[in-house]
Structure 1
Amino acid sequence: MTVQDEFRAAPGSIVQVRDEEWLVTEVVRDGDGWVVHCQGLTELVRDTSAIFATVLDEVVVLDPADATVVADTSPSYTRSRLWLEAMLRKSPVPLTDPELSVATRGLSDALGYQQEAVRKALDPSNLRPRILLADAVGLGKTIEIGMILAELVRRGRGERILVVTPRHVLEQMQGELWNRFALPFVRLDSTGIQRIRQKLPANRNPFTYYKRVIISIDTLKADRYLAHLQKQRWDAVVIDESHNVTNAAAQNNRLARLLAARTDALILASATPHNGKKESFAELVRMLDPSAVRPDGELVESEVQRLVIRRHRHSPEVAQVVGSDWAERLEPRNILVDASPAENAVAEELEQVWLHPESGRSPYSGSNAALFPWTLAKAFLSSPAALRETIKERTRRLAKDPDPAAEREIAALANLDALAAKADGSSAKYDRLVQYLREIGVGPGESMRAVVFAERVPTLKWLTAALRKDLKLGAESVVLMHGGLTDDEQQRIVDSFKQSSSAIRVLVTGDVASEGVNLHSQCHHLIHFDIPWSLIRIEQRNGRIDRYGQKHRPQITTLLLHPTTERFAGDIRVLTKLVDKEHEAHTALGDVASLMGKYDVDAEEDVIRKVLAGQAKLDDEIAPVETVAAQPTVAGIMARLKSAAAAAPAAPPPTAPIGIFPTELDFLRTALHAFMPTPAATGENGVGWQEHTGHAVAQFAPPADLRQRLEVLPQTYLAERRVMTELKLATSVQRGRTSLAEALADDSPSSWPEAHYLAPLHPVLEWAADRALAHLNRNEVFAVRSDTDDIVVLLQGMLTNARGHVVAANALLARFPNPENLDFVLVEPHARAVDGLAAAGFTGAPVNAADLTDVHVLTRFIAPAVRDADKHLETLVVEADRATRERVQQWIDRTAGWEDDAAGLTQRQELKERRRAVADERQLATAMLPERRLVRPLLVVVPKGLDLDTLTARAGQDGGA
């Protein structure tokens, strides 16, 4: 059975390899044979995943028509129901199924616009789930990512997943995926890498050891990992903050392109997905689909519409659903602070000597005399301490190669430093900050919190020390976070700030916290101690507390120094317009970067320097909000994406169970009672199973084979909640939410919930399903009795493509009205196996009278049931087959059109690489074509009044079974 044309395995098939029995989870063509991904069924390999190549191993597909029937003698047919539940949970949902199966069954709110993003990612017209989530800051892209990944897992397309994020949000992303969707990811930060090095040989590929990994892009882009990545394929890759990978000359881009080419599903996420340049945005679009960008680099807007989704806080589909779960931002508060005498002295020196000298020339000895003085001014507007650090650094550089001009500048810098030193202890802006913090209720014994942003590290250090003293708060209450801290230190601070039990009252931070970090759960006051000279940076900062889940109206406050100097004071007031413009764009457009059109923090800062230096006018550099959407630019395309999005109401979570048990708890409880003689006991016969019904919590001690699986859970969760000793599970959504909230309470010892929600994809349920699958021997089917008039065989039918993906599926009920005539079979299609069971009268937990003893005669019904069900399936999947072939052809036609356009262009190396990528796309498209049908029997249902002995006698008269 190793010849390619004869190999008939598909997901759900049972195969025999090396004399062990395996459940097939994926089948992929590979040269002259097939690569078969399997999960062990028999005792020796039960907890083992394996990959076999038919060119190396004899992979024998067990013919479903040859299955034998065995009687289920367990009370209430427990073994049959568990086996059916396991098979249904292991059976992938078809790619073409438009309904969300598990995405809304977790602990996320699953808002309508978020569900719309998931549906767009899974749209069958895409054939591959590849999407750029470009929602604005605060809309919950992490939740959308979790929902998409959950659906991919349920559809059999999420076995191997790689999540790549900035290092400071590793734990946050890991926590969201585990707490809300029960998706465990091994975090390979500095601690995780050290742990894996202790387990694996130095030459072992770490990405083959763990199937779901979350890692920082800074770690992953190192050369030592590239060789490992080139040998690895993924079912899904997530790249968070993907705007950091658009520079074609950078390591980040090299890594992203490698991953995009070696994964089926690709999710890119960024609130700022482009820098205004078509070529940069095209880099992201090409990663999703190489043929979506023309050979000459022009974007195909219809393809962008297909591949990108973009909404913001005030988009209609967002505004109508967030309600009180995202409190509307208050008007920004800009506080002008009159400078102290010492600060005025510094301002006068800056104006008269450096910014607007009477001679027309500042002491600056370099080539950028018009702009460097504003570097000094910007440092001063942060703090005198920052100004002194800038002076020190400039003086050090000049001293290396002194000349008369440099010596004059050094002397001028010394004068400025002397004035800054006097102002260092008399900052009016700092005094106003202390006053403001007290006004809003920050202080000893108070619960109010605030985030204070400043740009320069000397400012941050000075603020931290001074606020501790003047607010009479300890080091644990005024905490500093900056980019010089390790990823572990940063994560620990962010994690603490989220908890109501945290002692932190003032978080002093730089722009390391301006991207991706959630600070809103316990805080709604944000203070800009200095104003970033960039709309993008202002928006990023504000988004830390102005995001979904914010229950209080966010207050954004900016402190701005107001010196008595005429020209310098007027220059500074220009900066307040940046705060106002950000607020205007936030409300109307959701995208501040398009106003200046630079899409880069440094570039925006350069523009502001020119404005302050009198070389440009601010109104000329910032476009009116209403004109952006009409422009034929990337910004215009993105704005039209937003306006084209249809409002979609949130669909309620599915009420129908995944399998035949009403809830996940019912399945787990029944499985444990089947596996353990006395599950409530401890030791060999039990696991100390307890249910606290009033609190919706169940707990037990994981047995050894389950503990082995749980090792991939977040390590801090395992340690802090002592999971390996006692696993607690929240058995209702409400209890899950409460447990998650309690983890942030004042007396919580951990930020991980004590009782983890038993979501449909929880590893405990996967373990229970694998145990249940071992209840039958090789190629056997259970027989049960029910209130049915006929002998019926329940079967599952699937249509798969060459990649092993399930394209369509149906439950089929084969009825035998006349048991003596095996050629007379009535086949009924049902949407779900549960519906077929109900039609056969097998529901709930029926009483097993144990009167099905000699059932060998029932085996004769399997082959004709499989035969006729397969014929019926062929007619059922015609539409799915046709639709899929049309989509594949459209894909092929699109790549062919791209090739035609490229033929007339100069074949540069870059274009040759793109042609190879498009050619790979065409080859991949053909692999998506429907190829094989699989029909397998799940259960034989016998009428309660049917006497099997009589049936056996009649079968013998007809020539035997």
Structure 2
Amino acid sequence: MQTSHQDAASSTLNVAPGSIVTVRDADWLVTNASPTRDGLLVEVTGLSELVRDTRAAFYEGLDDIVPLDPRAARLRSDTSPGHRQTRLWLESTLRRTPLPLGEGDLSVSTRMLTDTLGYQRSAVRKALSSEQLRPRVLLADTVGLGKTIEIGMILSELVRRGRGERILIVTPKHVLEQMQFEMWTRFALPFVRLDSVGIQRVRQKLPATRNPFSLYKRVIISVDTLKQDRYLNHLRRQQWDAVVIDESHNLTGVTKNNALARVLAPNTEALILASATPHNGRKESFAELIRLLEPTAVSPNGDVDPQALDRLVIRRHRYSDEVKREVGDQWAERKELQHLVVAASPAEDAVADELAEVWLYPQVSSPYSGDNKGLFPWTLAKAYLSSPPALLESVRNRIRTLGDTRTLEQDRELEALRRLESLARDSTEGESAKLTKLVAYLRQVGIARGSAERVVIFSERVATLHWLQSRLREHLKLKDEQVEILHGGLSDVEQQAVVESFKQSSSPIRVLITGDIASEGVNLHSQCHELVHFDIPWSLIRIEQRNGRIDRYGQQHPPQITTLLLSPSNKRFSGDMRVLQRLVVRENEAHGALGDAAVLMGAYSVTAEEKAIEQALMKGNPIDEVVPGVADIADSDDPWRAFLQGYSESTPTAVSATVDDGGTTGLFESDADYLQSALHEVFETPAENLGAGGVDWKVHSGYGMVELSPTDDLKQRLTVLPQSYLQERKVLGDMKLATTETRAKASLKDARDDASERQSLWPDTHYLGPLHPVLDWAGDRVLAKLGRNEVFVVRGDVSVPTVLLLGTLSNARGQVIATSFVTVAGGMIRPYASAGEALADLGITSAHTNPGAVESVEALQDLIPRAVDRAVAHLEVTTEAAAADARRRVDEWSQRVESWIETSGDLVQRADLKGRRSAVKDEERTARSMLPSRHLARPLLVVVPEEA
């Protein structure tokens, strides 16, 4: 039975992270609350003696969860030095309080270990816009702009907003580790990587009947693994806060990929699709992608709503105004394109003559006896242009297909194939002209055993990859490990190992020979700026994808793109083949003028482009008719181009107060200061040596680094990371944390440049960013010790006793819509824009001193219920604007649903509409569950005058 957000029951519980609840005769601190079919799933940390520090989860529909009344909070005088306990409790509570989804300012994503650019920040703001009741977006930026960084930023903000507890990332298998690495090193988001090794580890832990996705909250897995039937069945019973699907253009059509997407889309609130080539030229395929994001955005007739596109799709390219203003010297311009045209050898000329006269341009007809008679000869031609072994493989594969029992027509074909096989074998045994030219070029650019120079060589044929690997090792006198190949036949672990090794300066690899599996998603630019097309793809999109592996943001050396093309003496064949150079030229022109080569042909599909070019060659049509120049498409009425030209960024407006993170509240000077204070308080030992049942703690202030030895419960939070990383870097024994970006970036560079045998990109020192699991762990330990529905009383800069409160407006799903900070003093209420502003006004900062305990706090007890009641009344008025805005957006969504259903009524005979109508009705239930539901006011602090 599917459990999805649409099926989630409305909750009657008034709880939020930081609240105290009683369950099963024990007190618990709420760390997260998320909607399910059984009501809220409340995740907690134990406070009572028997459950202290225990982590658990309770369903509202299965357990009696009783929130403690904030009006009954007890006052407690803080006697700690500098009011450390007060500051720790406030800081930890504020960190655990979710921001509203539509909060205008980015909170944590810009404080991570990445140089976020303005165009990336605008993409995140659009995904989190207050106009979106839930984040659903297609990141369609062209190759090289940093979609992975945008994904990490969006996920970081969702986590900070309490909407990123359970996250699933689906990628091609060769970029699994790359994605895991970026999420951890840049954004401090630990994900378990379920590649073949990770899955085997899960199978050892869980019975075969158990849902593997119940074991981990955040998972990265390949699309090839996930689309298997047994995993689909598990996914139907699993819901997520966010799902990311990379290279999402592979989701359309009647495929297992599409079946996977249709299971995931309704079972997640946030859905992020990423693809540099989202439009494949077929209206219905593109509509299918948009429908995954929002079913009502596609009419029953299959038309995509243009306004929905503007809301759901983000598309920029290298030369978009907002991009080119910022990339600067972090993205070097390409060098002039190089074409190396190579005259065929006599043996290769003999093959070309045979192909031209017998197969491509025969006097009678091609000897090919199968279907698509006109296309197979061009398949042979493509193999010939790739390499002699590639042609020999294609010929022999066809001979095997014919078998032993043949027709007369097939006998004729077999005879022709045998003759071609003999010629191909002769050319294989001789010297390849193109290989000779490649070797000379590689020597020219400095590829050698003792050199640091590197090159990426692309070819479509696996036979060519293996042949090049063997021949280049021989001709360049390179060691075996200096020439590696990458193709889809390798296991996921083998593919990841090659990709990650090539990124390191210490890697032995000097020549990476790869198929088009590496043309999507792989970053190869950190150590390489030379790329060679050993054969030319018959697709502009594929050329652009290949070039984007080294021509991307972060490339500081001008990338050099070089093509090799074999030119036989047969004039007809040679003439047709030379037009292929025009494809590379056209891609280069489009790259500079449009930033997107796909718009030239308007097919938006590698397969469609290849077919169009094949047809033009087969029929002898001019290639310019199929592949126009930039100037020729100026007046094109292509709908996708029209969308791109009409694209406008919408800037959301903040509607609520800001819940400050550490470093902005003024309570602590830095995250490291907060962590050190938390450890000192929790373990009650000297700050510089927290042994004796605590943790060892060392500060290297001159190096911007701290060290600690993780406790068992902290180790548990980190075990999802790669075991090799944890063991090699000894993370679970001695965790090194960089407290400055400079130190953290240096650690990343050291890992890339490490010349040791270990060869790992994972740094030994990790950046202590605001979402780091160590800070979460420290905050939970603080709240478990101090958070018993008690409110600290301190002295401050006030004239009368003053209560500081945090107010939240939430929906029926338990999600925060708006927040507000107020103080109540003498019956007067005062709002603040942020916690930092309120605390500064009250005189509570990191430099605060404690003159001594506040006596007779019992006399102040009546302040709490009066302040809570006053704050709730104030919230009902002041958050009405946010509530009205939420109701407006729910109504607009509901109207779209009603309009869609009404329109579909005229098409009831169409069988495909049944499932779509069901999905649209689910949208209605989702929208209604997001209506404002209840207010909660929690007292945070009581401040009395200094002389009290």
| Pairwise same-fold verdict (TM > 0.5) | yes
Alpha-carbon distance between aligned partners in 2 of 1:569 and 1:32, rounded to the nearest angstrom: 69
Go from structure 1 to structure 2 and tell me whether the alpha carbon gap of 1:598 and 1:388 turns closer, same or farther (over 3 Å shift).
Answer: same
Alpha-carbon distance between aligned partners in 1 of 2:589 and 2:94, rounded to the nearest angstrom: 51
Shift of 1:462: 0.7
Task: Give the structure 1 partner of residue 155 of structure 2.
Answer: 149
The one-letter amino acid of 1:939's match is L
Shift of 1:784: 1.4
Between stretches 338-347 and 120-129, larger displacement belongs to 338-347
Alpha-carbon distance between aligned partners in 2 of 1:98 and 1:42, rounded to the nearest angstrom: 38
- Residue 107 of structure 1 aligns to a residue in which SS? coil
Shift of 1:768: 0.4
Shift of 1:46: 5.0
Alpha-carbon distance between aligned partners in 2 of 1:833 and 1:274, rounded to the nearest angstrom: 45
RMSD over aligned CA atoms reads: 2.1
Go from structure 1 to structure 2 and tell me whether the alpha carbon gap of 1:367 and 1:7 turns closer, same or farther (over 3 Å shift).
Answer: closer
The one-letter amino acid of 2:714's match is L
**Residue 304 (structure 1) aligned to one of 301, 306, 309:** 309
Alpha-carbon distance between aligned partners in 2 of 1:6 and 1:275, rounded to the nearest angstrom: 46
Alpha-carbon distance between aligned partners in 2 of 1:174 and 1:771, rounded to the nearest angstrom: 27
**Residue 225 (structure 1) aligned to one of 210, 231, 243:** 231
After superposition, residues 65-214 of structure 1 pair within 5 angstroms as: 65-214=71-220
After superposition, residues 237-256 of structure 1 pair within 5 angstroms as: 237-247=243-253, 249-256=254-261
Alpha-carbon distance between aligned partners in 2 of 1:218 and 1:451, rounded to the nearest angstrom: 25
The one-letter amino acid of 1:223's match is D
Alpha-carbon distance between aligned partners in 1 of 2:19 and 2:691, rounded to the nearest angstrom: 36
Task: Give the structure 2 partner of residue 951 of structure 1.
Answer: none
Q: In the alignment, is the contact (CA less than 8 A) between 2:99 and 2:160 conserved in 1? A: yes
Cα-to-partner distance string for 1:664-718 (whole Å, 9 max, x where unaligned): 1110111111223135436434422111111101111111221121112233321
Task: Give the structure 2 partner of residue 937 of structure 1.
Answer: 939
Q: In the alignment, is the contact (CA less than 8 A) between 2:11 and 2:813 conserved in 1? A: no
Cα-to-partner distance string for 1:876-900 (whole Å, 9 max, x where unaligned): 2121111111111111111111122
Output the TM-score relative to the length of structure 1.
0.93
Q: Does 1:704 align with 2:706?
A: no
Q: In the alignment, is the contact (CA less than 8 A) between 1:21 and 1:40 conserved in 2? A: yes
**Residue 678 (structure 2) aligned to one of 653, 667, 671:** 671
Go from structure 1 to structure 2 and tell me whether the alpha carbon gap of 1:32 and 1:600 turns closer, same or farther (over 3 Å shift).
Answer: closer
After superposition, residues 757-836 of structure 1 pair within 5 angstroms as: 757-776=767-786, 778-816=788-826, 825-836=827-838
Alpha-carbon distance between aligned partners in 1 of 2:662 and 2:777, rounded to the nearest angstrom: 23
**Residue 463 (structure 1) aligned to one of 462, 468, 479:** 468
Alpha-carbon distance between aligned partners in 2 of 1:108 and 1:262, rounded to the nearest angstrom: 30
Q: In the alignment, is the contact (CA less than 8 A) between 1:276 and 1:633 conserved in 2? A: no
Task: Give the structure 1 partner of residue 575 of structure 2.
Answer: 570
The one-letter amino acid of 2:530's match is H
After superposition, residues 868-947 of structure 1 pair within 5 angstroms as: 868-946=870-948
**Residue 738 (structure 1) aligned to one of 730, 733, 746:** 746
Alpha-carbon distance between aligned partners in 2 of 1:556 and 1:116, rounded to the nearest angstrom: 31
The one-letter amino acid of 1:808's match is A
Shift of 1:593: 2.5
- Residue 943 of structure 2 aligns to a residue in which SS? strand
Go from structure 1 to structure 2 and tell me whether the alpha carbon gap of 1:385 and 1:6 turns closer, same or farther (over 3 Å shift).
Answer: closer
Shift of 1:632: 4.8
Task: Give the structure 2 partner of residue 580 of structure 1.
Answer: 585
Alpha-carbon distance between aligned partners in 1 of 2:208 and 2:855, rounded to the nearest angstrom: 57
Alpha-carbon distance between aligned partners in 1 of 2:577 and 2:36, rounded to the nearest angstrom: 65
Cα-to-partner distance string for 1:586-631 (whole Å, 9 max, x where unaligned): 2222332332233332332222222222353322222443565755
- Structure 2, unmatched stretches of 5+, are 1-8, 653-659
Alpha-carbon distance between aligned partners in 2 of 1:540 and 1:44, rounded to the nearest angstrom: 58
Q: In the alignment, is the contact (CA less than 8 A) between 1:105 and 1:654 conserved in 2? A: no
- Residue 598 of structure 1 aligns to a residue in which SS? coil
**Residue 860 (structure 1) aligned to one of 856, 859, 862:** 862
Output the TM-score relative to the length of structure 2.
0.95
Q: In the alignment, is the contact (CA less than 8 A) between 1:43 and 1:774 conserved in 2? A: no
- Residue 443 of structure 1 aligns to a residue in which SS? coil
Shift of 1:397: 1.5
Alpha-carbon distance between aligned partners in 2 of 1:557 and 1:806, rounded to the nearest angstrom: 54
Task: Give the structure 1 partner of residue 528 of structure 2.
Answer: 523
Q: Does 1:392 align with 2:407?
A: no
- Residue 541 of structure 2 aligns to a residue in which SS? helix
Alpha-carbon distance between aligned partners in 2 of 1:719 and 1:638, rounded to the nearest angstrom: 50
Task: Give the structure 2 partner of residue 421 of structure 1.
Answer: 425
Shift of 1:492: 0.3
Alpha-carbon distance between aligned partners in 2 of 1:928 and 1:801, rounded to the nearest angstrom: 5
Between stretches 233-242 and 785-794, larger displacement belongs to 785-794
**Residue 408 (structure 1) aligned to one of 398, 407, 412:** 412
Cα-to-partner distance string for 1:835-870 (whole Å, 9 max, x where unaligned): 212111222243323333542222221111111122
Alpha-carbon distance between aligned partners in 1 of 2:496 and 2:35, rounded to the nearest angstrom: 43
Q: In the alignment, is the contact (CA less than 8 A) between 1:499 and 1:751 conserved in 2? A: yes
Alpha-carbon distance between aligned partners in 2 of 1:423 and 1:479, rounded to the nearest angstrom: 25
Alpha-carbon distance between aligned partners in 1 of 2:280 and 2:582, rounded to the nearest angstrom: 22
Alpha-carbon distance between aligned partners in 2 of 1:754 and 1:33, rounded to the nearest angstrom: 42
Q: In the alignment, is the contact (CA less than 8 A) between 1:629 and 1:639 conserved in 2? A: no
Q: Does 1:625 align with 2:633?
A: no
Task: Give the structure 2 partner of residue 613 of structure 1.
Answer: 618
Go from structure 1 to structure 2 and tell me whether the alpha carbon gap of 1:28 and 1:507 turns closer, same or farther (over 3 Å shift).
Answer: closer
Go from structure 1 to structure 2 and tell me whether the alpha carbon gap of 1:370 and 1:397 turns closer, same or farther (over 3 Å shift).
Answer: same
Between stretches 520-529 and 705-714, larger displacement belongs to 705-714
Alpha-carbon distance between aligned partners in 2 of 1:129 and 1:528, rounded to the nearest angstrom: 39
Alpha-carbon distance between aligned partners in 2 of 1:243 and 1:75, rounded to the nearest angstrom: 58
Shift of 1:778: 2.9
- Residue 895 of structure 2 aligns to a residue in which SS? helix
Q: In the alignment, is the contact (CA less than 8 A) between 2:113 and 2:745 conserved in 1? A: yes
Cα-to-partner distance string for 1:795-821 (whole Å, 9 max, x where unaligned): 1111111111111111111113xxxxx
- Residue 781 of structure 2 aligns to a residue in which SS? helix
Alpha-carbon distance between aligned partners in 2 of 1:542 and 1:876, rounded to the nearest angstrom: 54
Cα-to-partner distance string for 1:398-456 (whole Å, 9 max, x where unaligned): 23322333223222222222222222131111000000001111112111100011111
Q: In the alignment, is the contact (CA less than 8 A) between 1:628 and 1:635 conserved in 2? A: no
Shift of 1:763: 0.2
Alpha-carbon distance between aligned partners in 2 of 1:284 and 1:633, rounded to the nearest angstrom: 18
- Residue 128 of structure 1 aligns to a residue in which SS? coil
Shift of 1:199: 1.5
Shift of 1:540: 1.2
Go from structure 1 to structure 2 and tell me whether the alpha carbon gap of 1:50 and 1:647 turns closer, same or farther (over 3 Å shift).
Answer: closer
Alpha-carbon distance between aligned partners in 1 of 2:853 and 2:908, rounded to the nearest angstrom: 79
Q: Does 1:36 align with 2:18?
A: no
The one-letter amino acid of 1:93's match is L
Shift of 1:786: 2.3
Go from structure 1 to structure 2 and tell me whether the alpha carbon gap of 1:334 and 1:655 turns closer, same or farther (over 3 Å shift).
Answer: farther
Task: Give the structure 1 partner of residue 365 of structure 2.
Answer: 361
The one-letter amino acid of 1:669's match is Q
Shift of 1:49: 4.4
Shift of 1:529: 0.6
The one-letter amino acid of 1:75's match is P
Between stretches 7-16 and 394-403, larger displacement belongs to 7-16
Alpha-carbon distance between aligned partners in 1 of 2:528 and 2:754, rounded to the nearest angstrom: 15
Task: Give the structure 1 partner of residue 6 of structure 2.
Answer: none
Task: Give the structure 2 partner of residue 336 of structure 1.
Answer: 341
